A and B are shown apart, each in its own frame.
Chain A
């Protein structure tokens, strides 16, 4: 039972345009969401997070939006740069739970 779903395995975006990566979840107890970025042959690195008390969090070119009623979050990257080409994982946790549940990942390719 995949509680965190990333339905697009891959996405290609022109350099300079907006990249939008989507993530859906089924567990209504999830209250903290994170995005990780992974380059080949490296471990994932933390990118941005959002608590369920907010609906938006911004950090430079990266913005995460949370729609609790739809159980949906998205990561916006503006403008997209070649260095953004990577696999992006969304992850979620519930209160007091030491475990983090990851999605299956979306491979983003930025086309120069």
Chain B
């Protein structure tokens, strides 16, 4: 039982490049979400999904895109990377919506945009 798996662990991008951060969970959780962690800002919600085919925006969605074609996978796409997107990204899942059951987090992807 791997839990929540994020790849890659580290990534360096040049401004304007695009990439996809992968997230997969094997707990059959319906709820999945993406957060970014920045110094002094805590964890901020980017996008979330309450089930396959359903996604919605969080607090800081601009510059990011998501889709949820299966229960297991919830990739985060950076459309055109900017230095302001330098951050640590965490994917999380839970059996119910985030306010009702604890989130299980992956170990993060550290992204640097130069």
Contacts and interface: CB of A to CB of B under 8 A. Distances in A.
Nearest to A94: B99
Given A34-B102, A43-B92, A99 B48 contact: yes
B44 A102 contact: yes
Contact of B105 (A45, A94, A101, A103): A45
Contacts of B58: 99
B45 A99 contact: yes
Nearest to B92: A43
Contact of A89 (B40, B43, B48): B43
B45 A100 contact: yes
Interface residues of A, number: 27
A89 B40 CA distance: 12
A41 interface: yes
Contact of B106 (A32, A43, A105): A43
A46 B98 contact: no
A98 interface: yes
Contacts of B1: none
Contacts of B104: 46
A59 interface: no
A28 interface: no
B111 interface: no
Nearest to B58: A99
A90 to B, nearest CB: 9
B107 interface: yes
Contact of A98 (B43, B44, B90, B98): B98
Given A32-B99, A98-B48, 18 more contacts: A9-B40, A32-B100, A34-B102, A41-B107, A43-B105, A43-B106, A44-B43, A44-B105, A46-B103, A94-B99, A99-B98, A100-B45, A100-B99, A101-B45, A102-B35, A102-B42, A102-B43, A105-B42
Interface of A: 4, 6, 9, 32, 34, 36, 41-46, 49, 89, 91, 93-95, 97-105
